[in-house]
Structure 1
């Protein structure tokens, strides 16, 4: 049987890769968007050495051009962040426009503002603005990011579509009453471990990792059972040294990058989830933690304040403020009732506003509007 011609050509990072963009794309595919909307997917980036990345990017650009010329998709939908990701996707969209396709620039990544305003020279800023304004539509993850895009590229047409997250089945969790009780429950991933804080993200300064380690220094004397699990790729040996220099090596676990199963197991065991980033879009790790019914502490940057309402479904702290971070974490570690209330509210927030069904429906409506098939 003849294959169905693609209606949408979607371009992004490798679906089996790491990071938030790969995670959201996998959620959309699992939610049926690719099948229902006849999406053909091309990746222009994957993990590896410089030569491997260059070859993959070249192959992705060639595949994009061939698809545009030979199969004539109605829309080319590119997922991009900053730096090399933006450069690749700007070329993709240039090829798509030259082929007569409608185009969507879907902005991810919390450092795009800095990239556009501070790290780029005058020529690159003009190219960024040109790319945004020539796109048929720019998708922002939050209202605050939409305001920035509209100010930076006034002629751009902008829509807000948040990230989607799969909602796991509700679990009946057990909180151990004593070390002996905890030992008896070993192996049960549904068991919440008292004093266990989970961080998920790349281990780098921009994620607020130094402030998080400093907060542990302040918290450890009051909460001797405290354990901070920092799941993510980065300089693990360097972070072990930082923890040792602060005298908290015994309170830190560094398992490295976690696949989906390991991530879900860690979320189930965590008492609190923490993401004290300096800049963000709408982080998938935070959405995943809230979908799992976890009380969260996050910094008030990017689209996070539109997701987390302080005191209602989580706690917000200023970025770069280790003392405020420690106080917020202490509130949650000391109050099981507060953790339960915030965690339940967090899950309801995700269920109502960030479900896969809702976001896939919004994207389908955008596709129909651009393609003139409403």
Structure 2
């Protein structure tokens, strides 16, 4: 039996968007692998204590840890402490890199970041972007974020409707205002266009977006349903034909993979991991961040250029099929079994 301690954010019960860890951890468990997670505690001190207890309880033999590493001001030092404790107790750990902003830690926290990387049994990332960013410091294995492809019905967008979807949190890093301003420009040429902006309001930015929509005369054609459960995503994909990702920083967003799987035509920015996930002119149209005019032009191209949306739609679906759990999960199971063998 392999014992895995997975240290990451497991906070969806508190109304916070589930992280990829919440999808991966239960799937890793099998008749050969036992998984313990940390932490589902909301408050920082309680989370830290829960994580320390989980690391200390990790068996000496036949075990390993998976430690999610993000760049946030709380997440980064928490991961550093966890890696240090695991190393001190000689428990092998797999370091999972997350977040489009993580490479900035090479400038601001270089020594701490390299400590975590160098003592890891393996370093993994869901994107080639982070693998490339850290190539000079470690061999990073790319294991893509996975979904159940069969849960997302595909429809080629041969003649896309002007139904646009923004599917991210309301946070400045995702720049929803630029998506709104671009949509306003599109609607000047397609008055039947509508947009849904769905996601949790983590900073109070949704109210500002609603005010912006009103000032642009869009209140009647832009809806704000808030945070939606995963089960609602396939229906959203059937109701909308074009996904708009206006991020200023990003890595490998699952919402974009879901859109690819459903065959939605995609307009996204050229930041972080997005150009590694999406190929401009082949699986999506990519535009500079913060540029509403370029975004609007790309959105209009999908509506007005014959054959473009269909080609992107079909190519994106073919790419997404390689990210099904049936392909990705065996790689994770092999990885943890190899790491645990080191502690045998």
Tell me which interval the TM-score lies in, with the shorter structure as reference length. Answer: 0.7 to 0.9
Residue 315 and residue 245 in structure 1: after superposition, are their counterparts in 2 closer, same or farther (change >3 A)?
same
Residue 354 and residue 15 in structure 1: after superposition, are their counterparts in 2 closer, same or farther (change >3 A)?
farther
Q: What corresponds to 1:199 in structure 2?
A: 166
1:81 to 70, 74, 87: 70
Residue 288 and residue 19 in structure 1: after superposition, are their counterparts in 2 closer, same or farther (change >3 A)?
farther
Q: Are 1:44 and 2:44 counterparts?
A: no
Q: Are 1:102 and 2:92 counterparts?
A: yes
Q: What corresponds to 1:344 in structure 2?
A: 314
2:262 to 270, 292, 295: 292
Q: Are 1:58 and 2:42 counterparts?
A: no
2:148 to 163, 166, 182: 166
Q: Does 11-20 or 134-143 show the bigger shift?
A: 11-20
Q: Are 1:243 and 2:213 counterparts?
A: yes
Residue 307 and residue 146 in structure 1: after superposition, are their counterparts in 2 closer, same or farther (change >3 A)?
same
For 1:90 and 1:357, the matched residues in 2 are separated by 32
Q: Are 1:360 and 2:342 counterparts?
A: no
User: For residues 1-374 of structure 1, what are the structure 2 equivalents within 5 Å?
Assistant: 6-14=2-10, 16=12, 22-29=18-25, 32-35=27-30, 38-44=33-39, 48=42, 52-65=43-56, 67-68=57-58, 70=59, 72-83=61-72, 84-117=74-107, 120=108, 124-151=109-136, 154=137, 156-169=138-151, 171=153, 194-234=161-201, 235=204, 236-335=206-305, 337-351=307-321, 353-372=322-341
- The Cα offsets for residues 146-182 of structure 1, whole Å up to 9 and x where unpaired, read as 121234xx2x34222221122035647699x9xxxxx
- Give the TM-score normalised by structure 2: 0.88
Q: Which runs of 5+ in 2 are unaligned?
A: none
Q: CA deviation at 1:253?
A: 1.0
Residue 335 and residue 250 in structure 1: after superposition, are their counterparts in 2 closer, same or farther (change >3 A)?
farther
Q: CA deviation at 1:314?
A: 1.7
Residue 142 and residue 363 in structure 1: after superposition, are their counterparts in 2 closer, same or farther (change >3 A)?
same
- The Cα offsets for residues 22-55 of structure 1, whole Å up to 9 and x where unpaired, read as 343344356x422255141322355x5xxx3431
Q: Which runs of 5+ in 1 are unaligned?
A: 178-191
For 2:279 and 2:217, the matched residues in 1 are separated by 34
- The Cα offsets for residues 47-66 of structure 1, whole Å up to 9 and x where unpaired, read as x5xxx34313322322222x
Q: CA deviation at 1:6?
A: 4.2
- Give the TM-score normalised by structure 1: 0.81
- Greater RCO (Cα-Cα under 8 Å, separation 6 or more): 2
For 1:73 and 1:90, the matched residues in 2 are separated by 23
Alignment size in residue pairs: 336
Structure 1 SS opposite 2:35: strand
For 1:245 and 1:16, the matched residues in 2 are separated by 34
